Amino acid sequence: MTRVGLLTSGGDCQALNATLRGVAKGLYNLYGDEVELFGFIDGYKGLMYEDYRKMSPVDFTGLLTRGGTILGSSRQPFKLMREPDPNGLDKVEAMKYTYRRMRLDCLVVLGGNGSQKTANLLSQEGLNVIGLPKTIDNDLWGTDNTFGFQSAVDIATDVIDCIHTTASSHNRIFIVEIMGHKTGWLTLNAGIAGGADIILIPEIPYNIDSIISKIKQRAAHGNGFTIIAVAEGAVSQEVAAMDKKERKKHLAKRKDPSVSYEIARLITEATGREVRVTVPGHMQRGGTPCPYDRVLSSRLGATAAQMIQRGEFGVMVAIKNRVVTSVPLEEVAGKLKLVDPASDVIGEARLLGISFGDD
């Protein structure tokens, strides 16, 4: 009998359930009745505190189009994994104990950067682990795409589309703040797809004067409205030049709710024009997975099942050049996939007249 543990860790997204379904269907078709699946509740927390439930094929029915995660999720910061919990529990040893007491043959982890770091830690501690790449930010190293990303792009794009009509009707400046603290993949793709005039991402620090210049240039050419897509982690050139300590102090003193409101205030002060800010927030994580994510998650899940059968552990399932493959967890852990400011997509966006605030 093959025994497999499943957990979903970190922030939620639209295709977690679809990926669980892909793993389960693959395993049931490969092993038949000779496989048992166990779902850990609320991510690594369930593994630490032995909170799990045995699952059956019926548990995975109807999940392809269902957002969120039936197992629940929680954020367990990697930097705190080696620190005891409030009751003195050694988290890593507790997870290893649960894995071995349950006689698991493999643990499948669906998660983003922090989750894959912990997956690699457990792999190095001797557990059989397979990672699956989940994040709406698409910033996991080693894979072209992560499940949840395209669904979030679709939602963020729809927000920009809706803003376009009201912005053009009233000749207003609108800022749409899109998720992405460290990387700008989501803002970049939604901004291009939604026809944003200005896109601000963490990888390209902005100059407020360049933003204002772009707005005035559009107005001079008869375009009274401007759409600005801003990643929540976007930074000005002045802030980007600060060291980590200085930046932390600066952000702590910020009076505006977020970078988008700060930019809006500065634009109004410089131009006298009204600026509206829209923050879709967690809407970007919610709802039904888009068709692309359903296909991707199904492929990744099925491949994970094959890897379990082959005994290929210590890896994250990935997609490269449309081919599903794997990369060692130790190569993935701790690496961010950033937007390259010199990449083709940035150059092509500039040719379309999109400003990145650094002109």
> Please, what is the angle between helix 91-101 and helix 113-124, to 10°?
70
| HSE of 310, CA atoms in CB hemisphere, 13 A | 13
| 76: nearest Cα among 127, 25, 40 | 40
Report which residue type is found at 239.
Answer: V
Q: Phi and psi at residue 72, in whole multiples of 5°?
A: 75, 165
Active site residues: 137
Report which residue type is found at 339.
Answer: V
Percent of the chain with pLDDT over 90: 91
Report pLDDT digits (tens) over 46-82. 999 999 999 999 999 999 999 999 999 998 989 999 9
pLDDT interval class at 112 (50, 70, 90): very high
Contact 8, 71 (CB under 8 A): yes
Query: In terms of residues, how long is the chain?
Result: 359
pLDDT score, position 128: 98
Going by DSSP bridges, is the β-strand pair 323-328/52-55 parallel, antiparallel, or unpaired?
unpaired
- Edge-to-edge strands of the sheet including 275-278? 198-200, 226-231, 173-178, 275-278
In this structure, which long-range contacts are made by residues 238-241, counting pairs with CB atoms below 8 Å and at least 24 apart in sequence? 239/205, 240/205
pLDDT interval class at 249 (50, 70, 90): confident
pLDDT above 90 (res 252): no
pLDDT interval class at 359 (50, 70, 90): confident
Average pLDDT over all residues of the chain: 96
Show the tokens assigned to 199: 């896109």
* Contact partners, residue 98, CB within 8 Å, separation at least 6: 47, 48, 50, 52
Report which residue type is found at 105.
Answer: D
Report pLDDT digits (tens) over 165-175. 998 888 899 99
Q: What is the pTM of this model?
A: 0.95
How many C-beta atoms lie closer than 10 Å to residue 267's C-beta?
21
pLDDT score, position 271: 94
CA distances from 318 to 17, 133, 190, 302 (A): 18, 7, 23, 12
For the chain, list the domains and their CATH numbers. 2-148+289-332 (3.40.50.450), 153-285 (3.40.50.460)
Report which residue type is found at 181.
Answer: H
Contact 297, 18 (CB under 8 A): yes
pLDDT score, position 169: 86
Contact 204, 341 (CB under 8 A): yes
Q: How large is the average pLDDT for residues 83-99?
A: 95
